[in-house]
Structure 1
Amino acid sequence: MDDAVNLPKVELHLHLDCSLSYKVVKKLDPSVTAEEYAESFIAPQKCYDLADFLTRALKGFHLMQSAEAIFLVVEDLFEQMKEDNMLYAEIRFAPLQHLENGMTPFEVVQAAEKAVRKSVAETTIECRLLLCTLRHYSETQSMETVKLVEAFKGSFVAGFDIAADEAGFPIDNHLSAFKYAEEKSIPCTAHAGEAKGAESVWETLKFFGPTRIGHGVRSYEDERLVKHLVKNNIHLEVCPTCNVQIDIYPEYRDHPVDKLYRAGVSLNINTDARTITNVTLSREYQKLQETFGWIKADFYQCNVNAIQAAFVSDKLKQALLAKLSMAYGYL
């Protein structure tokens, strides 16, 4: 197989505030040393659980409390994606986490959207933003977030997500937001089947109705659910290294990504949190090659799946598919 770094890639599950390089952290806070960065921004290879893992996002939130900071972080992430040979990416974040210094939620999204717009124009990478509500948010906060997606319709803001600790908080506060999204035809994804089992995916599909599931790997525990995902073309945004890191699986070889893929589930490969997990998408590809024997055709298929599941127009999907096929030598 060609060197994984050189393969064009599509990433759908990528958290902005969990992907700050040391370079941009030093710009935002020159006092941070390499040792402090490694301790506070990067999680250990094994965390106790998802909640433990998520504590490493706090420093990133704290540094991203101005339009200028958000702009720099987006710009930095585009540099990282360029090194990974990214073709298309969807970057997600929770705008209500960035209000400490007086910005309004609208101003937060405006800053991120402007930064993405500029970076897309200056690179070969297509990109969209997804806005996240969080499991511990109130119904009011969840509604405020989904209405921001509607307010930015037609821009580089493309969809709605629910993230954070699924094991610690019920779905009740977010039913209204997903109902609103359905009424307004807002594309939705939702974190599920990560910290909780297959029942979490069933619940999320039933009450939120997303076309994609963030993670969703615990679906493999229920054969009926796997068949349901295949039949209904529900796409899984799989993040293998992160799942092993939060101790869902003991080792990479124990991860069900290959089994789900061979079962015909639409899925693609993602980093989730480049900094917290300390991984690139190229490295994920290398691990899949080394562990499960994936070849170029497998990565091509996963990227085709991702483009087909992306929250963009059919016209852009066709353009991306043409670029992908040409780069992989299938056109």
Structure 2
Amino acid sequence: MSFRELPKIELHLHLEGAAPPALIRDIAKEKHTDISGAFDERGAYAFKDFPQFLKVYEAATSVLTSPRDYGRLTRAVLENCADQGAIYVESFLSPDFCGGGDVHAWRDYLAEIEEASREAERDTGIIHKGIVTCIRHFGPEAAKPIALCAAETAGDFIRGFGMGGDETVGHAGDYAWAFDCAREAGLEITSHAGEWGGPESIRETLRDLRPTRIGHGVGCFRDHALIDTLLENDITLEICPGSNVALGLFPSFTAHPIARLRDAGLKITVSTDDPPFFHTSLTREYEELSRAFGWTETDFSEINETALAAAFCDDETKTKLRKKLELP
């Protein structure tokens, strides 16, 4: 079996960040919107560093202005995921981009996303669930209506709440109201931390937001006390090695700390983050990790079992996925 055919679970995928560049160019052309500066001469997304990545990301997202656009986006992304062997995906959804934080508009966008997800499951078997995310660099006040959107639509499809964006803006505790609101609605909690902010960002997030998962979290790799804290709190890390390498956090897959974190006993999972931006895919992640660390199908089976345990879906869905993963 090739790594492409291996059944996979992905827990850290930004829906807009997974948009195929060709789809974004087509939608921009239909709307007579010029975002040509977001692409290089080959038609791929073009940026040099993380701040510029955020600008290009928001430029690409700016053409997605209707529920129908998000239906098209969801279908395209899930088809690509299924083609890479994904059987279950949790994607980050931002009401900031889907109706500007208005819950009524958000419901219209969500209806199209859910319908596209049902179609993808019918056609490919892939299961998709959503995690509503606020955007950290938009500020804590802007996070409050996003949390209310999440709370109002929590259910079978919307399973969690999290936070993305520029981790260096403010402190995790500034967003505690939004996370408490989501938690009270029964949503599971994750948050980006330890990608750019280092160990202290992870500590603040654990203390003030109380997640069960951390997005990225690689900033803990030199801090043994923090690793112990993550172990004690049974935290799962949503690690995106290709993203980390593409953005210059580590010079190569071989230099990435994912294997050291796994050897330390941490619960690690493998995801793609924003795959077309970072010229990656789930298959490429597995192939590069195998080359770097000698990981085999057995290693990836264990990683996917960890991801299944940490997934925010219900027990019935987990039972179905366990059979697809051929786990005992």
Separation (CA, whole Å) in 1 of partners of 2:247 and 2:46: 9
Separation (CA, whole Å) in 1 of partners of 2:90 and 2:219: 23
Tell me, yes or no, if the aligned pair for 2:7 and 2:86 is still in contact at 8 Å: yes
Q: Partner residue of 1:98? A: 98
For the structure 1 residues 35 and 289, does the alpha-carbon distance in structure 2 shift closer, same or farther, using more than 3 Å as the test? farther
- 1:250-269 matched pairs, under 5 angstroms: 250-269=251-270
Aligned pair count reads: 322
For the structure 1 residues 315 and 105, does the alpha-carbon distance in structure 2 shift closer, same or farther, using more than 3 Å as the test? closer
Structure 1 gaps of 5+ residues are none
- 1:96-245 matched pairs, under 5 angstroms: 96-99=96-99, 104-245=105-246
For the structure 1 residues 43 and 219, does the alpha-carbon distance in structure 2 shift closer, same or farther, using more than 3 Å as the test? farther
Tell me, yes or no, if the aligned pair for 2:38 and 2:45 is still in contact at 8 Å: no
Q: State the Cα distance separating 1:33 from its structure 2 match.
A: 10
Tell me, yes or no, if the aligned pair for 1:230 and 1:265 is still in contact at 8 Å: yes
Q: Which amino acid is 1:277 matched to? A: F
Q: State the Cα distance separating 1:65 from its structure 2 match.
A: 0.7
Work out whether 1:275 is the aligned partner of 2:279. no
**What does the per-residue CA deviation read over 1:257-294, in whole Å, with 9 as the maximum and x for residues that have no partner?**
01011111111100000111121000000000111111
State TM-score, norm by structure 2: 0.91
**Aligned mate of 2:45, from 18, 42, 46:** 42
Separation (CA, whole Å) in 2 of partners of 1:97 and 1:34: 20
Aligned residues: CA RMSD: 2.3
State TM-score, norm by structure 1: 0.90
Q: Which amino acid is 2:306 matched to? A: N
Separation (CA, whole Å) in 1 of partners of 2:290 and 2:181: 41
Tell me, yes or no, if the aligned pair for 1:43 and 1:277 is still in contact at 8 Å: no
Q: Partner residue of 2:57? A: 57
For the structure 1 residues 139 and 34, does the alpha-carbon distance in structure 2 shift closer, same or farther, using more than 3 Å as the test? closer
Tell me, yes or no, if the aligned pair for 1:93 and 1:132 is still in contact at 8 Å: yes
Q: Partner residue of 1:10? A: 9
Separation (CA, whole Å) in 2 of partners of 1:117 and 1:75: 10
Considering Cα pairs closer than 8 Å and 6+ residues apart, tell me whether 1 or 2 has the greater RCO: 1
Q: State the Cα distance separating 1:28 from its structure 2 match.
A: 1.4
Q: State the Cα distance separating 1:34 from its structure 2 match.
A: 9.7
Q: State the Cα distance separating 1:215 from its structure 2 match.
A: 0.3
Matched residue of 1:253: which SS?
Answer: coil
Q: Which amino acid is 1:55 matched to? A: K
Structure 2 gaps of 5+ residues are none
Separation (CA, whole Å) in 2 of partners of 1:175 and 1:96: 18
Separation (CA, whole Å) in 2 of partners of 1:65 and 1:284: 31
Q: Partner residue of 1:68? A: 68
Tell me, yes or no, if the aligned pair for 1:142 and 1:173 is still in contact at 8 Å: no
For the structure 1 residues 208 and 145, does the alpha-carbon distance in structure 2 shift closer, same or farther, using more than 3 Å as the test? same
Tell me, yes or no, if the aligned pair for 2:38 and 2:60 is still in contact at 8 Å: no
Q: Partner residue of 1:21? A: 20
